[in-house]
Structure 1
Amino acid sequence: FFCLAGLKADCFFFSRLNPHPKYVAHRERLTPQNAPEIFKDYDVILDCTDNPATRYLISDTAVLLRKPLVSASALRTDGQLMVLNNPPKPPGDTTGGPCYRCVFPKPPPADSVVSCADGGILGPVVGIMGVLQALETIKVITMTAGDSNPSDASADRPSLHIFSAYSTSPFRTIRLRPRRANCAVCSAQATVTLDSLRSGSTDYIQFCGSANPPQLLSPDERISPAEYQPLHYGSKLPSEHDLPYTLIDVRDKVQFDICNLENSINIPISTILNETKKRDDASNEEWPSWLPPDVTSAENSKKPIYVVCRLGNDSQLAVRKLKELGLDRNGERFIGDIRGGLKAWKEEVDPDWPEY
C-alpha cells in the first residue's frame, strides 16, 4: 500500500483495521522522475487522486511498467470508476486495455477543474466509490490468465462506471473503446516512455495547463505571508481590540474552526458578497451588522485591515467588497489581503500549519 507524505498516521490507522497487508509510507511527492521507481514493486495501482496532471502521470507509469490501474474519483454527489490497462500489455499491443489517455486524450480546461477540497464531497459517495474500487482491485488480483484473454466473450470488457447519488438510476455503465491507435503512451507510436519520464521531458503541468489564480488586486493591495509574519508574531496582545490591525478570515465557519490564525475574526465570504448596500463617509447610514464595532468605529478608522482565506482567491474578492462599502475611508485606511492565503502561510512561514 502506497501512502503519500504526511499520511503515516493514516497507514497506522489502516494497520489497525487490517494488520495483514504491509503499508509503506513514501515520504515524497509523486513526480515523473520517481513514479517508475515507486510503482515497480506493486502488482496493481490504485488512483485516488483528484487532479488531472497526477492522473495522467499515474496512468502513463502504469502502462509503461505493465501494471493494471484501478482509477476512482468522487466529487460532490457523483463518482466514477474505471479499470485501465487491463490486461496490462506493452505499448503497441492492441489486446491490452485502454489507458487514461485513451479515454481522455485531452485534459479538461484548467479553469474547469475543481478539487474535492474546493468543490466539497458527500461522505457516503466516497465510501461507495472506495468499496467499488476495492472490489475491482480484488477482481484484477484474482483474475487468471484465461480470464484476461480479450477474445473470450465472457471477459470483463473495460467500462466506465458512473454513480450519481440523486439520480433515479444511480448506477450507469459505459463501455470503453479499445486502445487508441494514436495514443501517446500505449500505441506503437508512443512518445511517452520511461526515458522521457525519468529525464523530465514529459511535462504534465504544461500538458494539463494550470488555472492561474485571479489577480484582482494591485501589488500595493497585497502582502506576502513572510511580510505579514512580523506583524502576527509581534502583536501577541491579550485582546484583538489591542492589536494595531484587524485580520479577517473569510473562510466558512467549519473551516475556520479547524484552524485559524490567532486573533483573527471570522466573516465568511458569502456574508460579505451578499451585502448589496454601498456606503460613503458622508452617509449617515449604519454599517452592516456583520461588521464588528471595533472595525467600524471612528477611533479605529485608520487601523489597517488584512484579509486571509485558504488559497488567496476569496480574500481578493473580500477586499474589493470591503472597499466598495467604504471601509477604506476613501483610501486613508489600508485594506489588503495575504497573498496565497493559508496555504502559502504553511509553505512560507509555518510548516506545521494543518492542511485540509
Structure 2
Amino acid sequence: MRPITDIFLPACARLNPHPTYIPFRTQLSPQNAPDIFAQFDIILDCTDNPATRYLISDTAVVLGKPVVSASALRTEGQLMILNYPSRSPGDKSGGPCYRCVFPTPPPADSVTSCADGGILGPVVGVMGVMQALETIRVMITSMSEDGKPSTGAIVPSLHLFSAYSTPPFRTIRLRPRRQNCAACGTEPSISIESLKSGSMDYVQFCGSLNPVSSLMPNERLTARDYKIWLDSHSNNDKGILLDVRERIQYDICALPGSICVPISEVLRSSRSSEATNGELPAWVPSSIINTDTATPIHVVCRQGNDSQAAVKILKQLGLGQGGKRFIGDIQGGLDSWRRDVDPQFPDY
C-alpha cells in the first residue's frame, strides 16, 4: 500500500505548485517528532486522535513553536492557535498549550475518529481554510518589544463551527497557561530528553479503546484465502462472517451475508458485568448461538486490527468450543479484500 504522503503530495502540488513539499514516510513518534518539528517555524495539527495531538503540542512547546490546530467530525469543527506567543515554560506571557486546554484526555470509549464517525466534506473545507488563514495571521502578526500584543494581535481562543447551528460560528476565549502544566508550566516534566527516551507513553496516557491483539497465524486468513474458502463451499456452508466496523461504515459497503457487530459494543460489554455473569452479551448474533457449534466464524474490519480484538473476545466467551469451532479474522481487513480480491470494492 502506498504511503499516504505519496498520495497527498501530488494532490497538493496540483493545487499549488509553488511551495516545497517534503514527505516524511514514517509515523510520528516521541522519538522522531523533535527532529522533524525543528525544521519548521509553525506546526499545523490536522490529526484526529488525542494521543497524537498531545504529542504534537508537547513537542512544539519544548521547541518553542506555535501550533495551529484544526479538527472536524461529522458536521462540526474546532480551531485553536496554541503556544502563541511561544515562550519558555513557566513564562505566563506565553500562550496556552493543548494540555492547558485539555489537562485530562477524554475517555477512550468517547473518542470517535473521522474514519469511524464520518465527516461532511464541506466541513473539512471550512476548517482547512480557517486553519490556513490563522496560520497566515501567526506569520504576519508581530509583538512589540515589551512583550505586549500589538494592534490586531492574536488572543488565544477556541473557534467552534457547527454546520447546522444558527449562528454556525462561536468563539471561546482560552484561559492563560496553567502553571502546573506538565509541558509549559513552572516545573515542566516534559523535555526533549524525556520525549526521545520514550518515557512518555502517549497511548497509555490517553488510553486505548481498540488495542491490536496479535493472533496466531492459524487464527488468520488472508483475503485471497478467504475468497478461495468461500468459492469452495455452498451457500449453506459458508459459515458466519461478522463485520465489526461501526454501523455508519457498514452501511456504506459490506461483504454479502455479513453481520454487523460494532466493535464499540463488543469492547464495551467485555468491560462490563455482562462479561462476568455467565450470560452471552446482547450483541452476540442469534445465528452464532443457534447454529452448529462447528460452524466457523470469520471476523472482518476495515484494516485487520479491530477484528483481532473481536476474535479474542469471542473465544473468551467460550464460542470457540474449546478449539472445536474455528474463530479467526481476515488479515488486512476490507482494505486487503479490495486490494487482493475485488478492486471494485468501495474505498471510503
Q: TM-score, normalised by structure 1?
A: 0.72
Q: 1:90 to 1:340 in 2, by over 3 A?
A: farther
Q: Say if 1:302 and 1:332, in contact at 8 Å, map to a contact too.
A: no
Quote the Cα distance in structure 2 between the aligned partners of 1:115 and 1:312: 17
Match 1:228 to one of 196, 212, 220: 220
Q: Could you tell me which amino acid in structure 2 is paired with residue 156 of structure 1?
A: I
CA deviation map 1:80-116 (0-9, x unaligned):
1000111111212211111101111111112211111
Q: 1:343 to 1:28 in 2, by over 3 A?
A: farther
Deviation at 1:28, TM superposition (A): 0.8
Quote the Cα distance in structure 1 between the aligned partners of 2:82 and 2:288: 58
Q: Say if 1:306 and 1:336, in contact at 8 Å, map to a contact too.
A: yes
Q: Does 1:308 align with 2:306?
A: no
Match 1:206 to one of 204, 207, 218: 204
Give the number of equivalent residue pairs: 313
Q: Could you tell me which amino acid in structure 1 is paired with residue 241 of structure 2?
A: I
CA deviation map 1:44-72 (0-9, x unaligned):
10001011111001001111111110001
> Counterpart of 2:105?
107
Quote the Cα distance in structure 1 between the aligned partners of 2:106 and 2:166: 27
Deviation at 1:29, TM superposition (A): 0.7
Q: Say if 1:147 and 1:155, in contact at 8 Å, map to a contact too.
A: no
Q: 1:179 to 1:123 in 2, by over 3 A?
A: same
Q: Say if 1:225 and 1:345, in contact at 8 Å, map to a contact too.
A: no
Deviation at 1:154, TM superposition (A): 4.3
Match 1:13 to one of 11, 29, 36: 11
Q: Secondary structure at the match of 1:56?
A: helix
Q: Secondary structure at the match of 1:236?
A: helix
Quote the Cα distance in structure 2 between the aligned partners of 1:15 and 1:137: 19
> Counterpart of 1:184?
182
Q: 1:162 to 1:223 in 2, by over 3 A?
A: same
- Percent identical: 49
Q: 1:355 to 1:182 in 2, by over 3 A?
A: farther
Q: TM-score, normalised by structure 2?
A: 0.74
Match 1:342 to one of 333, 339, 347: 333
Q: Secondary structure at the match of 2:170?
A: strand
Quote the Cα distance in structure 2 between the aligned partners of 1:173 and 1:234: 51
After TM superposition, list the pairs within 5 Å mapping 1:154-169 onto structure 2.
Answer: 154-169=152-167
Quote the Cα distance in structure 2 between the aligned partners of 1:331 and 1:135: 60
> Counterpart of 1:83?
81
> Counterpart of 1:248?
241
Q: 1:224 to 1:115 in 2, by over 3 A?
A: farther
Match 1:61 to one of 38, 48, 59: 59
> Counterpart of 2:43?
45
Q: 1:202 to 1:315 in 2, by over 3 A?
A: closer
Higher mean C-alpha displacement, 305-314 vs 17-26: 305-314
CA deviation map 1:151-198 (0-9, x unaligned):
546422100000111112210000001111111111221110111111
Deviation at 1:304, TM superposition (A): 2.9
Q: Does 1:116 align with 2:125?
A: no
Question: What's the RMSD between the two structures over aligned residues?
Answer: 4.4
Q: Secondary structure at the match of 2:106?
A: coil
> Counterpart of 2:24?
26
Match 1:132 to one of 113, 130, 133: 130
Deviation at 1:245, TM superposition (A): 4.3
CA deviation map 1:9-39 (0-9, x unaligned):
2101111110100111101110111001001
Q: 1:44 to 1:354 in 2, by over 3 A?
A: farther
Which structure has the greater CA radius of gyration?
Answer: 1
Consecutive unaligned residues of structure 1, counting only runs of 5 or more, are: 216-221, 257-263, 282-295
Q: Secondary structure at the match of 1:60?
A: helix
Deviation at 1:275, TM superposition (A): 11
Consecutive unaligned residues of structure 2, counting only runs of 5 or more, are: 263-281
Match 2:260 to one of 265, 269, 290: 269
Q: Say if 1:269 and 1:314, in contact at 8 Å, map to a contact too.
A: no
Q: Say if 1:249 and 1:265, in contact at 8 Å, map to a contact too.
A: no
Q: 1:94 to 1:239 in 2, by over 3 A?
A: same
Q: Secondary structure at the match of 1:7?
A: helix
Deviation at 1:248, TM superposition (A): 2.5
